[in-house]
Structures are given as structure tokens and as C-alpha cells.
Structure 1
Amino acid sequence: MSFHERLTVNGAELVVEAFGPQDGPAMIVHHGAPGLGSRSEPKRSFGPFADTFRVIVFDARGSGESSDHEPFTHAQWVADVDAIRAYFGHERIVMAGGSYGGFIALEYAVAHPDRVSALVLRDTAADTAHDHLAVERAKSTDRTVIPQWAIDRIGTGRFESNEQLREYWKAILPLYDHQHDPAKDAAKLAATRFHYRTHNAAFGQNMPRYDLKPKLPSVTCPTLVTVGRHDWRTPVAASETIAELIPDARLVVFEQSGHSPQLEEPELFQRTVRDFLAEAGVV
């Protein structure tokens, strides 16, 4: 049974969708790229799991079709996840997230360990230690020439308008996939809703203070850490750090992927996640 509503969550209007059996185990998936991302990617990536799971996706406050109600903080985004969990009546969930959504998934697991049955992470990080590598890759790529003004804004949250954020997104999109397809980049650009203030808050205010490494040993739920071998933004080393710090975490590297193995190697990604959840006893 599907669900598609605009819900009032902690004062914000969030567009929320749910798929799969209402009595199935719950999975909440958080999208990445605050101010750029939306529920469309998690819906596409985790929709196939609705044959077994109650898959819940949503546009976070300040992104997609949801309202721009501040604050745009990790604590608020975590509180929104928990409110959505409570709305659907689930005591425990599989928490999943990729890229910046992985930051929120990690933060949720740290804040609410009793509510997470398993954690699925994709191309994410526990701190900003590897951000300089993204700048280096942007400078050295042979796919396109990225303007210096765009390179200077990677991970900074310094945008003056939605139009400027759009031009930045257009400039860096060629870096994301292992096999570059300009047509896919154009489609992603056309489908994106821009919220530059959200993006500025995420990267200009939240990220300079972001370092979850000291708290990761406290995560006790089964954890799967996935990453594309050729990820320019959150490299394999960032995932290795997470896997080393979370007890018994499993690390899987997708050899033919960049930042999005869930889209670049979907069959392998889905099989990997299903096998992990089955072994974790969630299914």
C-alpha cells in the first residue's frame, strides 16, 4: 500500500511517501545534498525493497518540495526522522542514508540507538578530513573544465542565489558517476529544485563542526557501509574510517561506481543490502 502526503512535522511541511506492506519492517531512507537533493533518489534506489519492507522516503525540510522552515541543522533533521518514524507507528527502523543523508543516518543512530535495527550507509563520511581530496579531483578531472569559482565553493556553502547554486551544480555534475553520461547530467539538473539557503546552512554552518568519530564506537546495531571505488566526493578512505570505528561494521566497495553505486550498480547494491539485512535478522 502506498502513501503520499504533505505532513506537518515539527513545524515544517514535509512531502512524505511510503511503499510496501504496512506490517513489514520499516526502512527510512534519507536523501543527500541538502538544498539540492530530494526523495526521488531514495525512492528509485530503495523502492525495490518495498516487496518486503515498509520503505519511507521524504523531502527533508529545506529540500525538494518540502517547506523552507529553519533550522537546517543535523539535530533538527534527526528530530524530523524520528517524528516520521513515530507518525507511522514503528518502534524500530532500518535507517539508511547516502552522502549527506549518511551524515543524518549516522547522527540518528547515535542519538536513538534503541530505535535502529540496522544501519545502511552509502558514500558518506564521519568528518570533513577528506574534503580536500574532492577539491583536488575537481581541479584535475579530464572530463570537463570546472570553473575556478565553482571549485572555490566546493563544500563551503557560499551561494548568493538559487541561480548561482544551479550553475555550480551544473559545473560539478560530471564528477559524480564512474561512467560519465552528459545526458544523465542534464536530466539531473532539470529535475533539481534549488534551495540555496539550506545548502549554505548545511555546508557553511553544520559541516565545519561535523566530527562523529568519537561517537561511532557507541553504535551497536548491525551496520553496512557501502561506497563507490571512484567516488570523488566521499572517497573510500572516508568509508573505511566509519567501518573501523563502528563495531563489526561491514564495508563493501563497488568497483564500477562513483558516488552512486545504488544507481550505477543497482542489482549488486540491492543484493548486497538484502543479504546484509537478512543476516542481521531484520527481514
Structure 2
Amino acid sequence: MINERRAVHASVSTRELFVEGEGPTVVLLHGFSHSADAWRPVLNRFAEARQAAVAVDLPGFGAAGPARPGAWLPQGDRFVGEAIARHGQHAPVVVIGNSLGSFLTVRAAASPLRLPIRGIVPTATPGMGWTRLVRAGLAGNVRFLLRAATVCAPRFIRSRGADTIVGHLIYGDRAALDMTLVRTLSSQLHSRHGARELLTQALHMKAEVDAEPTINGISCPTVIVHGGRDRLVALASSEGWHQVIPHSRLVVLKRAGHCPQLDAPDVIVGFARGLTAVAHNESRPA
């Protein structure tokens, strides 16, 4: 059973979806414009396995409080750092991130604060060669969405169009498509104002990620996952992370899209459970 509660991290009020179970806790970080709901398929499986896990709404997304004016990444870093520290009080956590949440995951793992992280599973991670290789495709997607956002059309037509676009961008396997979840994620595009505001924010966020220097210093066990049908972040980006993170493992899921946790939740849970099992065994007294 997935439970819900309010929490405060780095002075930002947020919502957490969580399941009870044994530790160490798995912390789940969603992508841009998404919310903790994007992890429901994974949370359901963790609940069945009685594995403690928590998904948080990042600042400015879902039911979290708004981000402050200025650069978003430093705020995201502080928020994630406090969330990890709180949930890692008793045992180091395993962090799984997707897209923007994945970028925050690798930044947390490299933090000089030495956060209590046992291992990470970054999926569809931007920031390493993605701009050069997918600039044209991503810009084309954004231009198309911006045009669609300005079209005068009945709301039900706009809603259907937004559902189709979002489903195409986040899923790789149409057989796995969950329209209830798609509508949760696409609802921000149902109004012209909301769509333009969100997509303008996406361009600013992309510019922030592009401007960041290469991240080094990650030493925890790392399983890097990329969807073979990712239409937003190039595989080259995950390959770049694989090269700079020592002893990391790179897994390409051929039928998955930009959100592997939606196309292949069992696989993602398996990677996390592998890392939590290692952490649990290491925490036992000899």
C-alpha cells in the first residue's frame, strides 16, 4: 500500500509517497515537470517486496512548494541533500533518479557533504554529451509543443493531444502505457498558459544543466540505466557518465523510453534491491 504524507526539506514543504518495509530506504527522484506519482509502479512493487521506499515531489513540481527565484539546481541540491540525510539517518540509502532527478542523484553522490548514500541508479541522465547529439531533436520537440500550446482548440482536443505527446515522449513500449499516469503528467499542458509556462521553464532548466561542469568523485556502487527508445536524452549521455564513474555498470533497456521505471518497473526494482541487499548484508555484525 502506498501512503502519503507532508514533509519539509530545505524549507520547502513537499509531498512524499512512501511504502513501509525493511531498510535501507530507497529514495526516488522524479524528472522535470513530473511528480512522485511517476514512481507509483515501482512503489507498488516495493510494497509487495516489503522494501522501504519514498518518492518526493521536487521543489516547484507536483504538490511541493514553489522554488525561489533564481537558479533551480542549487535549490534542488539542498532539497535532495536534506531528504537523503533524513531518510538515511539509520542506514545509507539507495537513490534512484530519472532525467532531472537523475542529474540530482549523481550530484548528490558526488557531494562534498558525504551524504549517506549506499548506491545509485541514475536513469536517462542528462548533462554528458546530450546537448550536442540531441539538440536538433529536442529543440524540434519543444518547438512543436510550443506551437501546439498556442493553438486555439476545444479543451478536450488539447487534452487528447497533450496525452498523445506525453505518452510518446516518456514511454518506449506502448504495451506498458498507463493512460491514468499519462494524464497525471500531461495535465499541465491542457491549458495554453500552463503549456507555454512549463515549456519555457524546460528551456531554462536545460540551459542550467548544460552549463554545469563535469561531475567527478562518485565512488558508490552505480547502475546506469538508459532506454533504447529514449526520445529526449541521447544514449551518449549515459555512456559519458559510465566513463567518468569508476566501476559503474551501464544497462540499456532496448524497449524502454525516457522513463524506464514506467516501461520496466520490475527491472528497476531489481537493480535497487540488489544494492539494498548489499547494504543490508554489510550492516550486519560479523
TM-score (norm 1): 0.76
> How far is the alpha carbon of 1:57 from its aligned partner?
1.0
- The one-character-per-residue Cα deviations of 1:9-47 (angstroms, maximum 9, x if unpaired) are 3332201132123x52122110112xx201011232244
RMSD (Å) for aligned C-alpha atoms:
3.5
- The one-character-per-residue Cα deviations of 1:145-171 (angstroms, maximum 9, x if unpaired) are x79542789xxxx99xxx9x9876754
**8 Å contact from structure 2 (residues 228, 256) kept in 1:** yes
1:73 aligned residue: 72
**8 Å contact from structure 1 (residues 27, 94) kept in 2:** yes
> How far is the alpha carbon of 1:132 from its aligned partner?
4.8
**8 Å contact from structure 2 (residues 27, 55) kept in 1:** yes
Say if 1:104 and 1:65 are closer, same or farther in 2 by CA, change over 3 A: same
In the alignment, the residues of structure 2 paired with residue 268 and residue 86 of structure 1 have an alpha-carbon distance, to the nearest angstrom, of: 26
2:284 aligned residue: none
In the alignment, the residues of structure 1 paired with residue 86 and residue 41 of structure 2 have an alpha-carbon distance, to the nearest angstrom, of: 23
**8 Å contact from structure 1 (residues 124, 239) kept in 2:** yes
Say if 1:241 and 1:254 are closer, same or farther in 2 by CA, change over 3 A: same
1:41 aligned residue: 38
1:174 corresponds to 2:172? no
- Other structure's SS at 1:24 match: strand
1:235 aligned residue: 234
**8 Å contact from structure 2 (residues 167, 177) kept in 1:** no
Letter in 1 for 2:184: A
Number of residue equivalences: 262
In the alignment, the residues of structure 2 paired with residue 73 and residue 122 of structure 1 have an alpha-carbon distance, to the nearest angstrom, of: 20
Say if 1:84 and 1:173 are closer, same or farther in 2 by CA, change over 3 A: same
- Other structure's SS at 1:78 match: helix
Q: Which has the higher helix share?
A: 2
Letter in 2 for 1:78: D
In the alignment, the residues of structure 1 paired with residue 115 and residue 267 of structure 2 have an alpha-carbon distance, to the nearest angstrom, of: 30
Q: Residues 156-195 of structure 1: matches in 2 within 5 Å? A: 171=165, 173-180=167-174, 184=177, 187-192=180-185, 193-194=187-188
2:219 aligned residue: 220
Say if 1:18 and 1:269 are closer, same or farther in 2 by CA, change over 3 A: closer
1:248 aligned residue: 247
Say if 1:224 and 1:188 are closer, same or farther in 2 by CA, change over 3 A: same
> How far is the alpha carbon of 1:274 from its aligned partner?
2.8
In the alignment, the residues of structure 1 paired with residue 253 and residue 38 of structure 2 have an alpha-carbon distance, to the nearest angstrom, of: 18
In the alignment, the residues of structure 1 paired with residue 39 and residue 56 of structure 2 have an alpha-carbon distance, to the nearest angstrom, of: 9
**8 Å contact from structure 2 (residues 94, 275) kept in 1:** no
2:55 aligned residue: 57
Letter in 2 for 1:94: V
1:5 aligned residue: 5
TM-score (norm 2): 0.75
> How far is the alpha carbon of 1:99 from its aligned partner?
1.1
**8 Å contact from structure 1 (residues 128, 207) kept in 2:** no
- The one-character-per-residue Cα deviations of 1:181-231 (angstroms, maximum 9, x if unpaired) are 6x9475445323537657644x34343242566323x10000010111111
> How far is the alpha carbon of 1:136 from its aligned partner?
3.0
Say if 1:260 and 1:246 are closer, same or farther in 2 by CA, change over 3 A: same
**Most deviating of 244-253 and 60-69:** 60-69
- Other structure's SS at 1:243 match: helix
**8 Å contact from structure 2 (residues 12, 79) kept in 1:** no
Letter in 1 for 2:169: L
Letter in 2 for 1:49: F
Say if 1:228 and 1:151 are closer, same or farther in 2 by CA, change over 3 A: farther
- Other structure's SS at 2:214 match: helix
- Other structure's SS at 1:25 match: strand
Say if 1:265 and 1:113 are closer, same or farther in 2 by CA, change over 3 A: same
Identity among equivalent pairs (%):
20
- Unpaired segments of 5 or more residues in structure 2? 189-193, 282-286
In the alignment, the residues of structure 2 paired with residue 127 and residue 175 of structure 1 have an alpha-carbon distance, to the nearest angstrom, of: 20
In the alignment, the residues of structure 2 paired with residue 264 and residue 240 of structure 1 have an alpha-carbon distance, to the nearest angstrom, of: 20
In the alignment, the residues of structure 2 paired with residue 53 and residue 147 of structure 1 have an alpha-carbon distance, to the nearest angstrom, of: 38
> How far is the alpha carbon of 1:108 from its aligned partner?
1.2
- Unpaired segments of 5 or more residues in structure 1? 140-145
> How far is the alpha carbon of 1:276 from its aligned partner?
4.7
**8 Å contact from structure 1 (residues 224, 276) kept in 2:** no
**8 Å contact from structure 1 (residues 118, 282) kept in 2:** no
In the alignment, the residues of structure 2 paired with residue 185 and residue 42 of structure 1 have an alpha-carbon distance, to the nearest angstrom, of: 12
In the alignment, the residues of structure 1 paired with residue 88 and residue 274 of structure 2 have an alpha-carbon distance, to the nearest angstrom, of: 26
